[in-house]
Every structure is written in C-alpha cells, then in structure tokens.
C-alpha cells in the first residue's frame, strides 16, 4: 500500500517538474528508499519562471495519467478518513 502511494507521489513530483527536467529512471525501490532520477533540461528555469507562476495556480488539480489520478484519489480518501502518514 505505501509503496504505491510513494510511487504516485514521485510521479506527481516528476510531472510538476517536466518543464525543468526529464525523467531518466522511473521510481524504483532501493531498500527503504524510493528513488527517481531526473536530469535538468538545458536552459530550463530561467525564462519560464514568470509564466509558470501564473500557470501554477490554474493547473494545481489537473493530472494527465490515470495511475496518478487513482493514487491522488486514494490519498485524498485516506486523508479524509484521518489516516495520514
């Protein structure tokens, strides 16, 4: 259960950073740690900062992958029940 939640969290994190970097390796469990490798895109972050702040408010609840949507719903349901980590 927690492995899937961790993977969903890292996928959401990678999705939020897709303008700045590229996922080199998908989330992978390494002992007790789950790792995700992201490499920076050349020149990313300098020209996009102003437009990203405006777009961030609009896109906070949108997701593109069904797996991420399902994980977000599970996390929201758990939080409503009071089952926080």
**Burial status of residue 58 (CB atoms within 10 A of its CB: 0-12, 13-18, 19 or more):** exposed
21-31 pLDDT per residue, tens:
999 999 999 89
* Distance from C-alpha of 12 to C-alpha of 19, rounded to nearest angstrom: 13
pTM of the model: 0.49
Tell me the domains of the chain and their CATH numbers.
2-80 (3.30.110)
54-63 pLDDT per residue, tens:
666 565 555 4
Based on DSSP, count helices (H) and strands (E) in the chain, helices before strands.
3, 2
> How much of the chain, in percent, has pLDDT values that exceed 90?
36
């Amino acid at each position: 259960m927690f492995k899937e939640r961790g993977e969903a969290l890292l996928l959401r994190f990678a999705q939020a950073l897709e303008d700045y970097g590229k996922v080199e390796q998908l989330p992978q469990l390494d002992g007790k740690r789950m790792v995700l490798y992201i490499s920076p895109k050349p020149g990313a972050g300098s020209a996009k900062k102003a437009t990203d702040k405006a777009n961030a408010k609009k896109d906070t609840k949108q997701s593109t992958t069904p797996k991420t949507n399902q994980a977000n719903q599970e996390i929201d349901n758990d939080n409503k029940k009071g089952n926080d980590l």
